[in-house]
Structure 1
């Protein structure tokens, strides 16, 4: 019995030593919590030897420049992976393909410049949340991401965070393969417009955050795009520099029709011009902007121009008639002279006609000529 107890203690010690040995250097491992943390350890690559029991893997605040499929082999149980704030610049194709249980992926606060076409390919569509907040370094990364999202298998993705990336516009149909997406975060960018096919394919989208962008208005094309999101019941548009001129009238009317769908509609206000600053967009309709009054004023100006032109032409006509009156004698003389000249020409033609029509006169005329 004593020998059995000793063997059990020995096995426990061996297992304990093995468990400690299986934890990567400069990382903290907890088998009970199924968690491994490698936080701010100045790592230059994903460490080897991460235990297979790991479900929550936090490798943050390091200096890892690139990640690829070799980094996560054998980690079938990882469900939450955080790689934020690592200065990652490149994501290779199939990097996360072996993470068959992955549901949450955080790549925020990195410096992505290159995302390969199948960088986010997943074998079993397990990923539900993807955080790319403040992760895209330049415009080429935006285009790479759009191409990757269109080509990879993220059909089960429900949440996508692209906030804080300085996005000016989104390529058409960027999200066309994300048919199950429920939440899309686009806040704190520089988006200037919502265009046709920007959100094409997002039939299940419930929440759309467009706060803190550069939207001056949303034209009718963009309004049709938003209306084409049938499931979206929570739309945020606050903290945009809306310019309240006549061009914003369709958007203001749309807001009044869509109350309840735009969650922060009562907080939306004009930023420009100065006279309209802080005026609620819900009130900035036709009467407030005075668009029709301006159109009526334009019509009045046009009518006034026509009246002025008529007066000028009338004055020119009077001057012409007055000149004719002053020169009536000379004009009458010229008319008489023209009349007499025409009469002489006519009589000559008439005489020639009579000669040609009467043979006797023709003979006399010929004799006279001889």
Structure 2
């Protein structure tokens, strides 16, 4: 008699397959391998396809995809509405909504050099965008338009080759992102922070590590403070060549009043001037960060800072000399009687010696006591009474 479905034996042949399917569904999604593009749907089922020759965003991504990762492709240029049906030939068309559920888009290491205006149009649910490790040279001022839900934008190691013009465009592109919470700008050789990034009203963290920041000015620090109930953003500044001179005083005072705003504050080190090289920034004494008279921009501060270490060494050397001198005076005071006796003996010895010299001088000056001259050779010696 064949077993019914409710009996245990009915599931016997299907049990191994069900267990494998359950294991596959419970297994977390693996990271997308290099030269591949991956997408995951609502059920977190990961699919992968070759992307080595990919030169434009793929068209076979299902509309229910939530996450899309493209790694190792050669996209070069992201044109308008590139992920929502835009024309690959450069003719801008009205963007459709082809991926309405897409929330995360990762485009790292794809040789992207240009991001045109509206490149991400038609992605209404996109919350996280990662363009890190791409050699960006041009960025449209409206590149991130149409992303009302964007919360995280990563541009790490992506802006170093664009120059000042790219930073100006970045300012314009960041301005509309009113709901942005996380901004990554690490490893971009930035000498200043984009002003638009400092004025984002809901920004919670700004990653500015591994750049070329010599410090932050008073205007930048003022922009990080907010008048409303929202707290200011956290700021990551490690591995920047901070110049610990006159212009560093506002940043040092700000960090000491709000240390929690800089989670990596203990990792900050001075790169200049030379006497303060590699010294912990938080451990600096504000008295060392002096400005020259009339030197508002901090030029010449290295002369003022020639400084702290040498002054400290001079003070220590002076204290040692003072201690040695004090000990010497104490020894003289404790042995004053012996020193007086020694001085008296020395004076008497000198007097005796001088009296001896004086006596010998008087004896040598008396002609009667002068020695007789020697007789010439061959003469005959006579006695006084010989009469000869």
In structure 2, what is the equivalent of residue 108 of structure 1? 108
In structure 2, what is the equivalent of residue 268 of structure 1? 268
Task: State the SS of the aligned residue for 1:105.
Answer: strand
Question: Aligned in 2, Cα 1:196/1:262: closer, same or farther, shift over 3 Å?
Answer: same
Question: Aligned in 2, Cα 1:86/1:179: closer, same or farther, shift over 3 Å?
Answer: same
Task: State the SS of the aligned residue for 1:248.
Answer: helix
In structure 1, what is the equivalent of residue 53 of structure 2? 63
Task: State the SS of the aligned residue for 1:72.
Answer: coil
Alpha-carbon shift at residue 138 of structure 1 (Å)? 3.8
Question: Aligned in 2, Cα 1:220/1:107: closer, same or farther, shift over 3 Å?
Answer: same
TM-score (norm 2): 0.56
Alpha-carbon shift at residue 228 of structure 1 (Å)? 4.3
Alpha-carbon shift at residue 196 of structure 1 (Å)? 3.5
Question: Aligned in 2, Cα 1:126/1:155: closer, same or farther, shift over 3 Å?
Answer: same
Farther off after superposition, 56-65 or 91-100 = 56-65
Task: State the SS of the aligned residue for 2:146.
Answer: coil
- Counterparts of 2:213 and 2:146 in 1: how far apart (Å)? 31
Task: State the SS of the aligned residue for 2:266.
Answer: helix
In structure 2, what is the equivalent of residue 148 of structure 1? 143
- Counterparts of 1:52 and 1:290 in 2: how far apart (Å)? 59
The yes-or-no answer on 1:211 pairing with 2:209 is yes
Alpha-carbon shift at residue 87 of structure 1 (Å)? 2.0
Question: Aligned in 2, Cα 1:74/1:40: closer, same or farther, shift over 3 Å?
Answer: closer
Asked if the contact 1:37/1:59 (under 8 Å) is kept, the reply is no
Question: Aligned in 2, Cα 1:189/1:85: closer, same or farther, shift over 3 Å?
Answer: same
Higher share of residues assigned helix: 1
Task: State the SS of the aligned residue for 1:271.
Answer: strand
Alpha-carbon shift at residue 38 of structure 1 (Å)? 8.9
- Counterparts of 1:183 and 1:53 in 2: how far apart (Å)? 26
Counterpart mapping for 1:28-107 below 5 A: 56-59=46-49, 62-67=52-57, 71-72=58-59, 75-97=62-84, 98-107=98-107
Kindly tell me the number of residue pairs found equivalent between the two proteins.
Answer: 252
- Counterparts of 2:223 and 2:43 in 1: how far apart (Å)? 45
TM-score (norm 1): 0.59
- Counterparts of 1:293 and 1:160 in 2: how far apart (Å)? 44
In structure 2, what is the equivalent of residue 25 of structure 1? none
In structure 2, what is the equivalent of residue 121 of structure 1? 121
Asked if the contact 2:243/2:270 (under 8 Å) is kept, the reply is yes
Gaps of at least 5 residues in structure 2 are 1-23, 85-97, 301-388
Question: Aligned in 2, Cα 1:250/1:120: closer, same or farther, shift over 3 Å?
Answer: same
Gaps of at least 5 residues in structure 1 are 1-29, 299-370
State the Cα deviation string for residues 92-122 of structure 1 (Å, max 9, x = none).
3222231111111110011112323221012
Structure 1 runs of 4+ aligned residues shifted over 6 Å read 30-38, 50-54, 292-295
In structure 2, what is the equivalent of residue 256 of structure 1? 256
In structure 2, what is the equivalent of residue 183 of structure 1? 182
- Counterparts of 1:110 and 1:194 in 2: how far apart (Å)? 25
- Counterparts of 1:33 and 1:259 in 2: how far apart (Å)? 40
- Counterparts of 1:206 and 1:51 in 2: how far apart (Å)? 29
Task: State the SS of the aligned residue for 1:275.
Answer: helix
